[in-house]
A = this chain, B = another copy of it.
């Protein structure tokens, strides 16, 4: 193993880092889960050449490689353990090209989503994927997980916003996947295959992103409170069924609201009530806000249109404070099931059932516009205890029964790999695993992630 580090140092010099604190941090991500053991070294790649050199050494020495961006994942996919090289692309932050006339940008993977969007905004452009982590997560990480966010029902997910990627294979070869044109069907769509592949197929060293123009006009925000989360979910489903497309539609259940209001020192809402917070944007923002308000009132909601930007900002601050508020309750396992939108009320019934039957608390927020729920399983201590996993297992199976999926936007990583076969079926699971072997015959790219191979 010392030989591996020596070989890396011989080629990459001081970009090879064995600082114990750094190695310790590379074991974990924002899920709290940590890999067993300590990785060999972190390579701070500054260029495509650095990535290729690292992969050639890894292949020559049969050393596993964990690619890492900002480490904000929630499934443990970028956690590195004993005997592994951490290949950090966090320092590759350049914007290589912006073409307003072609609505595309070419960027390196380590740039933060928010930094990219700040640079694009100066040209009237944006990259639509907006994970809640956008201030701290990288574009490369967004691609690796196939990230979503709040705006997805109207503006799409990462898969809808990437035209191509440059990919370094396990053996160091560089492939250029995808295209720069709006249309392109030459051969298999390997770009889509890489999106969401969580470091198992190769190292994304550049991405050609599909941009949008900033939406003109003034966004409007409204809230509606309901007697419970199920009623709020039914309200959200009614909005979707009405045909008016909100930019954002978020649901917070009573436990989430209570925790956030306590954290922010706000007056507590009536116990038990759940809330939808909705944003409309574009030229028709006012008319759409009025229409959605009417739909939600008819569904039994108590509706309030934000009077001004300050009130709207407070409402969104409440939603954005979910994660810090959960930290005040204990340790949380943040889950990520996604269901067809019509199944949202039934999914909230299932969450209530799981809470009751397993005796656990599961404060839940939900991207109600697209059916993606984040149930937060609260517990004490640092490791997820078996009874919490049992409750999560029950919840996953309920989501699958409702036509849903295990993970809407966080990925499988290590935390959800044991349920992957349940959703894919044995045949598809095995076929997917074989596809990873085409890219990585020796199995050195993120072994043990996603497929538990």
Contact = CB atoms under 8 A, between A and B. Distances in A.
A182 B367 CA distance: 11
A279 interface: no
B183 A372 contact: yes
**Copies, count:** 2
B342 A99 contact: yes
Q: Nearest 6 pairs between A and B by C-beta?
A: A192-B192, A183-B408, A182-B370, A146-B185, A184-B405, A181-B338
A180 interface: yes
Interface in A77-105: 99-104
Interface stretch (A53-61, A235-243, A258-266): A235-243
A102 B407 contact: no
Nearest to A405: B184
17 contacts: A102-B240, A102-B340, A152-B182, A169-B427, A180-B340, A181-B403, A182-B370, A182-B371, A183-B367, A183-B372, A183-B405, A185-B411, A185-B412, A186-B405, A186-B416, A189-B196, A190-B432
A371 B163 CA distance: 14
A27 to B, nearest CB: 23
A153 B104 CA distance: 13
Nearest to A437: B438
B184 A408 contact: yes
A430 B99 CA distance: 31
Contacts of A195: 189
A110 interface: no
A188 B177 contact: no
A51 to B, nearest CB: 16
Interface string A279-312: 0000110000000000000000000000000000
Contacts of A152: 182-183
